[in-house]
């Protein structure tokens, strides 16, 4: 199947965000790079609920190898790596991967790769996960090559989970709920914290003192929506078992998103 060109805004977005954080990123910085709402994701129950949900739906154990597609700076890797024997994180943005490598996870490696055409052989991993990433793609045609690659790379009997997919049939209700959640977070935690200041080494800071740099364009988060039927159809084409799973209950958008689990037939 021909590969669909990756949207050019995606690596730009994550490269820009990775340039704002330190070489030893804290939790808020990891949320920033991933494009996640820190007031939600800095709550332990939100993160732990996600880990439990993925572990259960993937049937993930410490005997398994796990591939994460779209790892950014390693926010989820910090939770996934302890749940498996070997963790490999892939992302298209070199700056984000460089930050992930500073996390010091002993069983983890991070690589720069285009998720639509990966270099690993068939059946290289026991499990694969891609969580809260598809929202960056504006069509299923651009998502499909990623799904095919994930399924190809899991072993017979293995599972690939694609998570937190916005449901097109719930778009209006989701947008309404998003406004409600934003107001709830403002009332409980105050306004959204400002983004981290751009991280600069000493030579760059000195250079900027003498020469004013033009303002860079700032990529923005855009959320795209998908139909469950497209994921089911692809599963039939690939001759794998397909299950539509729920997003963990701690997520305030659980009713408007879904997971897809592809299982290779033994």
Burial of 189 (0-12, 13-18, 19+ CB in 10 A): middle
Looking at residue 213, its pLDDT comes to 44
What Å distances lie between residue 180 and 47, 172, 177, CA to CA? 21, 13, 5
103: helix, strand or coil: helix
Alpha helices in 42-93 (DSSP H): 44-58, 77-80
pLDDT of residue 3: 39
The total of other beta-carbon atoms located within 10 Å of residue 62's CB is 9
The structural domains of the chain, with segments of one domain joined by +, span: 9-172+220-263
Distance CA 6, CA 46 (A): 30
Query: What are the average pLDDT values for consecutive 10-residue runs of the chain, which has 266 residues?
Result: 49 85 90 91 94 98 98 97 98 95 96 87 97 94 96 97 97 95 94 77 44 44 89 97 96 97 93
**68-109: pLDDT as tens digits:** 999 999 999 999 999 999 999 999 999 999 999 999 999 999
* pTM across the whole model: 0.89
- How many percent of the chain have pLDDT more than 70? 88
DSSP string of 233-265, one letter each residue: HHHHHHT-EEEEEEPPTTSTTGGGEEEEEEE--
Place of tokens 């990775």: 18
Q: Specify burial of residue 23 (Cβ count, 10 A radius: 0-12, 13-18, 19+).
A: exposed
* CA dist 1 → 73, 116, 160, 262 (Å): 30, 11, 20, 19
- Predicted local distance difference test score (pLDDT) of residue 5: 45
Query: Does the 9-172+220-263 domain belong in CATH 3.40.120.10?
Result: no
Cα–Cα distance measured from residue 226 to residue 116, given in angstroms and rounded to the nearest whole number = 18
| Cβ atoms of residues 130 and 99 within 8 Å | no
Give the model's pLDDT for residue 208.
42
CA–CA distances in Å: residue 7 to residues 11, 95, 134, 253 = 8, 17, 12, 26
The dihedral through the CA atoms of 68, 73, 76, 79 has a sign that is: positive
Instruction: For the chain, state the CA radius of gyration.
Output: 19
Task: Please write the tens of the pLDDT for every residue from 190-210.
Answer: 998 888 876 555 444 444 444
């Amino acid at each position: 199947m021909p590969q669909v060109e990756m949207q050019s805004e995606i690596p730009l977005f994550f490269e820009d965000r990775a340039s704002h954080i330190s070489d030893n990123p804290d939790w808020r910085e990891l949320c920033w790079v991933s494009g996640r709402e820190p007031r939600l994701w800095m709550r332990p129950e939100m993160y732990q609920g996600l880990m439990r949900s993925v572990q259960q739906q993937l049937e993930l154990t410490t005997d398994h190898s796990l591939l994460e597609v779209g790892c950014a700076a390693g926010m989820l890797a910090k939770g996934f790596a302890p749940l498996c024997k070997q963790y490999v994180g892939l992302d298209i943005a070199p700056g984000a991967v460089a930050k992930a490598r500073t996390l010091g996870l002993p069983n983890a490696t991070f690589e720069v790769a285009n998720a639509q055409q990966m270099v690993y052989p068939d059946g290289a991993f026991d499990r694969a996960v891609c969580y809260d990433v598809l929202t960056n793609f504006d069509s299923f045609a651009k998502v499909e090559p990623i799904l095919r690659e994930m399924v190809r790379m899991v072993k017979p009997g293995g599972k690939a989970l694609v998570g937190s997919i916005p449901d097109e049939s719930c778009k209006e209700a989701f947008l309404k709920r998003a406004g409600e959640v934003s107001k709830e977070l403002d009332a409980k935690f105050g306004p959204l914290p400002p983004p981290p200041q751009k991280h600069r080494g000493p030579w760059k800071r000195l250079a900027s003192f003498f020469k004013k740099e033009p303002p860079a364009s700032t990529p923005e988060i855009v959320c795209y929506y998908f139909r469950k039927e497209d994921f089911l159809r692809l599963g039939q084409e690939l001759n794998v078992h397909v299950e539509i799973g729920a997003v963990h209950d701690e997520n305030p958008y659980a009713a408007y998103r879904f997971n897809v689990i592809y299982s290779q037939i033994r």
